[in-house]
């Protein structure tokens, strides 16, 4: 009988121990998924059960710094449309949040700008309608998809894409919407002579008035080798050079 009692006590202690381990409160992050605009931020909070945890005791990382950055305090700052995963790590354990930076403005589909593409590839990606007689050996000219876009043009050299020009019907576009469209998708380099220059990866974009064509966005490849710190002067020089052939074809 004594042995049985000892056995029961031992079993009871084991279950009590397990119960204590199982009752340890779960550590959670306040948002495992989040949608923000490019100019917004979010302060992440971490809790263990009902208790607040000091967020600065975790190591925070953002999977794509172009989309958004995260401070040591857990403050996320959105930067550009896209998705990134924020990870908070402590003692070998991680908490994650998938963040989508969503657009304010989406009034047209940008051209398919891949500088290793030929005409066949571009045509397979485009959803717009070719203008009558809009295809030559070195170009494609599409009708705009709505009353805000007049045309979308692609120029080719040696069979490969050299650049693209979007011609806007500026009378149907609010200036604020046009500015926001590019600011939330690209990094602003700067402005000169009322033309604004943007970059993203190997793409440079110039937004402004083009003589003989109208108000345009000109897309060309950044061949300077300077992706992160290209100057307005460098961007202007490169776009001016590369757009000469494009503008001649479009005219």
Domain ranges of the chain: 26-101, 119-250
**Mean of the pLDDT values across residues 50-58?**
95
Q: What is the pTM of this model?
A: 0.85
Alpha-carbon gap, residue 167 to 115, rounded angstroms: 20
Residue matched to tokens 């203008």 = 131
**Nearest Cα to 62, choosing from 47, 44, 39?**
44
**Mean of the pLDDT values across residues 170-179?**
96
Confidence (pLDDT) at 250? 78
The total of other beta-carbon atoms located within 10 Å of residue 30's CB is: 15
Alpha-carbon gap, residue 37 to 18, rounded angstroms: 46
Q: pLDDT exceeding 90 applies to what percent of the chain?
A: 82
Domain range 26-101, CATH class? mainly beta
Residue 13 has pLDDT above 50, yes or no: no
pLDDT band at 11 (very low <50, low <70, confident <90, very high): very low
Alpha-carbon gap, residue 137 to 159, rounded angstroms: 8
Residue 3 has pLDDT above 70, yes or no: no
pLDDT band at 244 (very low <50, low <70, confident <90, very high): confident
Confidence (pLDDT) at 24? 78
Point out which residues pair with 55 in neighbouring strands.
none
């Amino acid at each position: 009988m004594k042995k049985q009692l000892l056995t029961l006590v031992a079993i009871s202690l084991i279950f009590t121990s397990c119960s204590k381990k199982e009752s340890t409160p779960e550590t959670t992050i306040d948002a495992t998924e989040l949608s923000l605009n490019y100019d917004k931020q979010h302060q992440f909070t971490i809790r263990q059960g009902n208790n607040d945890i000091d967020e600065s005791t975790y190591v925070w990382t953002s999977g794509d710094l172009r989309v958004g950055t995260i401070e040591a305090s857990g403050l996320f700052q959105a930067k550009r449309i896209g998705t990134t995963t924020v990870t908070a790590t402590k003692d070998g354990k991680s908490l994650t949040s998938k963040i989508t930076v969503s657009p304010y403005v989406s009034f047209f589909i940008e051209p398919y700008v891949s500088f290793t593409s030929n005409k066949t590839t571009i045509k397979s990606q485009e959803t717009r309608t070719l203008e009558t007689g809009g295809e030559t050996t070195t170009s494609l000219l599409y009708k705009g998809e709505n009353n805000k876009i007049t045309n979308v043009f692609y120029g080719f050299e040696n069979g490969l894409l050299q650049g693209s020009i979007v011609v806007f019907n500026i009378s149907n576009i609010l200036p604020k919407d046009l500015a926001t469209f590019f600011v939330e998708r690209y990094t602003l380099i700067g402005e000169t002579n009322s033309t604004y220059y943007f970059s993203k990866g190997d793409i440079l974009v110039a937004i402004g008035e083009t003589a003989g064509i109208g108000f345009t966005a000109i897309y060309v490849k950044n061949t300077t080798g300077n992706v992160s710190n290209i100057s307005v002067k460098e961007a202007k020089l490169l776009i001016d050079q590369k757009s000469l052939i494009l503008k001649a074809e479009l005219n």
